[in-house]
Amino acid sequence: MPSLSDLGQLPKRLVLGRPVRSDRAGESLLPKRLALPIFASDPLSSVAYATQEILLILTLAGTAFLFLAPWLAALVVLLLVVVVLSYRQVVHAYPSGGGDYEVAMKNHGQFAGLVVASALLTDYVLTVAVSVSSGTDNIISAFPSLDEHRVAIAVSLVVLLVAANLRGVRESGKTFAVPTYLFISGILVMVVTGLVRDFLTDNPVVAESAGYSIEAEPGYTQLTGLALIFFALRAFASGCTALTGVEAIANGVPAFRPPKSRNAATTLALMGGIAATMFVGVTALALLGDVKYVQHPCDLVGFANCATEPQRTVIAQVAAATFGGPSSLGFYYVQAVTALVLILAANTAFNGFPLLGSVLAQDRFMPRQLHTRGDKLVYSNGILLLAGFAVLLLVAFEADSTQLIQMYIVGVFTSFTIGQWGMVRHWNRDLRAATDPAARRRMQRSRVINTIGGTLTTVVLAIVVVTKFVSGAWIVICAMPLILLLMKSINRHYSHVASQLIPDSDARMRPSKVHAVVLVSKVHKPTLRALAFARATRPDVLTALTVNVDDAETRALQADWERYDVPVPLTVLDSPFREITRPVLDFVKDIRRSSPRELVVVFVPHYVVGHWWENLLHNQSALRLRTRLQFLPGVMITSVPWQLESSLDHAPLNGAGGPAPGDLRRGLTDEMEQTPYG
């Protein structure tokens, strides 16, 4: 019959499944067919909102500047190609999985590395928030009545993603592969169908918003000169959301099957080609179908229900126009796979954030817990930390993708830029040492690619910061320095601790003698066991110590001491203010003061109980004493447990009837221990 502790672990086992042994880590490595949906779902899914973001900005000025959309889309595709080629150099040069962080650390130094790390950490959080909120938008496009439950839907989706990722890389890869491939095939079928209808039939694609006109926002009615350039650059910056997540493959090279670098580079090329094709196709259909999408629905002249109904997303309007309306099977298929892949696109961050957190923890810039693998050989703490911050953003911004996207891609292009210029330094250094002509030609080609990439991403970063600062980018720009300072503080703490722990002569010096102190509250089995254990250690001095907080109880204790003929004198400390902790601490301090080389070992009897409610029924003096004693140098604290009957169901009995050592780590038990004094 399962114990209560086994039942307590049941929810964990249902979510995570069976734990995985450490020596099976290699079995979780990914083939390219699973690595593509895991690491590339973010840039692939961005076609669902990248075109929309370009149109959203251009329609602020009505329809006058929609002719810029294809040119801006072409620039985005060009930038995507350059960035993909640049990261192919990164995965070959730095296959350890540090990505831009490792590149910056090794080529620019610690400060640049931490800037990249802070940028990536913020961007991973925003990737989850934006992907999930955009997925929620597409669910609502199919079922408008769910609009009032937007935040609840988004948060629930994050929880499901956490559960899937905690089950392990391989399981989550299988979970995400099918929806991603269904999305790719659905979008490509939609693009081909729409283009065939437009160019080869008399039934062209016409969006439901094609007949609407747009009321321009105040201040956008007449744009000329620098204002027009700024306006176009702002739309281009919004379209650059198509590049988010490209760096995840460079950060996840260790998760690939050997040859890791070559497989990662191939996956990058596949991702870039598929993403560019889908983005161009969706943009072309949106323009051919005359899709209108605005920031405020009531700016659409002709949209009668703008105050009560949400406008459909661009991808939803294109699907409806291509497949015969919002009630067609094709429309629901595209909406379903789009919503699903957008939600699963957050998996890019759920893989990248924990891996980066692990690298940072290993370098002592993040808590060491982020470097610890969980039951399924994934970095569970990193997954939970990412989910927590993403949920905060979703709640704070009410899962509004339009607001969240304004903070997006600042971190992406910060890491892009620093990483690419770091790669230029890397090739310069290698070229100085290389003598083989073929190797030098390969390095020179890579340097040219990274130089072009660094130049373009620097320009785009400047555009993003300038055009999006007031709209929300300032939040990320302020958050990044705070994260950087936090990482430096953590590193400073770890370095300070390490310097204090370096072995010296004092650490090897034996104490002059050992003084054992046994804390006594009553003459009972726990006290007598503690005394027996203390005597077994053969100390130079043994003191049985009690504190007088009640004269009658103390006299009764002394009488019992004599009656049981305890072979150790009882020392009584007076406490006129009925304190227990301070008199004991003063007694121990006096021993140390009189003999600094003397070791004081304090034996603390305590109970082990089996039920949480029993914790409330016992004195907590021992816990307070142990907490205070641990701050005294030259003092050791020895706990002497006494198991009460209620704890027997939780105790190991010769390997049967209870958990064995290590069962807690495997999730097979949950021992409850209480440490009272008295």
Domains of the chain and any CATH numbers: 4-496 (1.20.1740.10), 505-650 (3.40.50)
Given a cut of 90, is residue 449 above it in pLDDT? yes
**Predicted local distance difference test score (pLDDT) of residue 614:** 66
What whole-number distance in Å separates Cα of residue 411 and Cα of residue 151?
A: 25
Q: Which residue(s) pair with 638 in the sheet?
A: 603
**Predicted local distance difference test score (pLDDT) of residue 649:** 63
Angle, helix 380-396 to helix 110-142, in steps of 10 degrees: 60
**Predicted local distance difference test score (pLDDT) of residue 288:** 92
- Mean pLDDT (the chain) is 82
Query: Which tens digit of pLDDT belongs to each residue from 130-139?
Result: 889 988 888 8
* Band of pLDDT at residue 666, cut at 50, 70 and 90: very low
Given a cut of 90, is residue 71 above it in pLDDT? yes
Given a cut of 90, is residue 580 above it in pLDDT? no
Compute CA distances 547 → 144, 183, 216, 629, whole Å: 71, 73, 82, 16
Compute CA distances 267 → 44, 255, 273, whole Å: 12, 12, 10
Main-chain phi, psi angles of 432, to 5 degrees: -65, -25
Instruction: State mean pLDDT over 10-28.
Output: 47
Q: Which two tokens stand for residue 422?
A: 């770091």
Would strands 300-301 and 514-519 be described as parallel, antiparallel, or unpaired? unpaired
Q: Are 488 and 361 in contact (CB under 8 A)?
A: no
**Predicted local distance difference test score (pLDDT) of residue 50:** 87
Q: Are 301 and 313 in contact (CB under 8 A)?
A: no
Given a cut of 80, is residue 306 above it in pLDDT? no
Query: Which tens digit of pLDDT belongs to each residue from 247-257?
Result: 778 877 887 88
Measured in Å, how far apart are the chain's first and last C-alpha atoms? Answer: 34
**Predicted local distance difference test score (pLDDT) of residue 652:** 52
Given a cut of 70, is residue 458 above it in pLDDT? yes
**Predicted local distance difference test score (pLDDT) of residue 448:** 94
**Predicted local distance difference test score (pLDDT) of residue 168:** 62
* Band of pLDDT at residue 388, cut at 50, 70 and 90: very high
**Predicted local distance difference test score (pLDDT) of residue 22:** 43
The 10 Å CB-count burial string (b at 16+, else e) for 633-649 is eebebbebbbebeebee
The DSSP output letter for 23 is G
Given a cut of 80, is residue 9 above it in pLDDT? no
Q: Is 590 exposed, middle or buried (0-12, 13-18, 19+ CB in 10 A)?
A: exposed
Pick 252 or 526 by higher pLDDT.
526
Q: Give the rounded percent of residues in the chain with a pLDDT score beyond 90.
A: 29
Query: Which tens digit of pLDDT belongs to each residue from 482-503?
Result: 999 999 999 998 888 888 777 7
Winning range, highest mean pLDDT, from 216-220, 264-268, 295-299, 468-472: 264-268
Pick 207 or 308 by higher pLDDT.
207
Largest Cα–Cα distance of the chain, in whole Å? 110
Instruction: State mean pLDDT over 426-444.
Output: 90
**222 three-class SS:** coil
For the ranges 221-235, 374-388, 428-442, 450-464, the lowest mean pLDDT is seen at 374-388
**Predicted local distance difference test score (pLDDT) of residue 15:** 47
Main-chain phi, psi angles of 279, to 5 degrees: -65, -45
**Predicted local distance difference test score (pLDDT) of residue 143:** 85
Main-chain phi, psi angles of 345, to 5 degrees: -60, -25
Q: Which residue(s) pair with 367 in the sheet?
A: none
**Predicted local distance difference test score (pLDDT) of residue 276:** 93
Given a cut of 50, is residue 656 above it in pLDDT? no
Given a cut of 60, is residue 170 above it in pLDDT? no
Query: Which tens digit of pLDDT belongs to each residue from 622-633?
Result: 778 888 888 888
Query: Which tens digit of pLDDT belongs to each residue from 529-550?
Result: 999 999 999 999 999 999 988 8
Instruction: State mean pLDDT over 158-178.
Output: 72
Q: Which residue(s) pair with 77 in the sheet?
A: none
**Predicted local distance difference test score (pLDDT) of residue 497:** 83
Instruction: State mean pLDDT over 86-113.
Output: 87
* Band of pLDDT at residue 79, cut at 50, 70 and 90: very high
Winning range, highest mean pLDDT, from 244-248, 304-308, 396-400, 608-612: 396-400
Q: Which two tokens stand for residue 274?
A: 């598929």
Instruction: State mean pLDDT over 276-295.
Output: 91
What whole-number distance in Å separates Cα of residue 56 and Cα of residue 314?
A: 10
- The 570-574 sheet, strands edge to edge: 570-574, 541-548, 514-519, 599-608, 635-643
Please give the model's pTM, rounded to 2 decimal places: 0.72
**Predicted local distance difference test score (pLDDT) of residue 245:** 75
Q: Is 657 exposed, middle or buried (0-12, 13-18, 19+ CB in 10 A)?
A: exposed
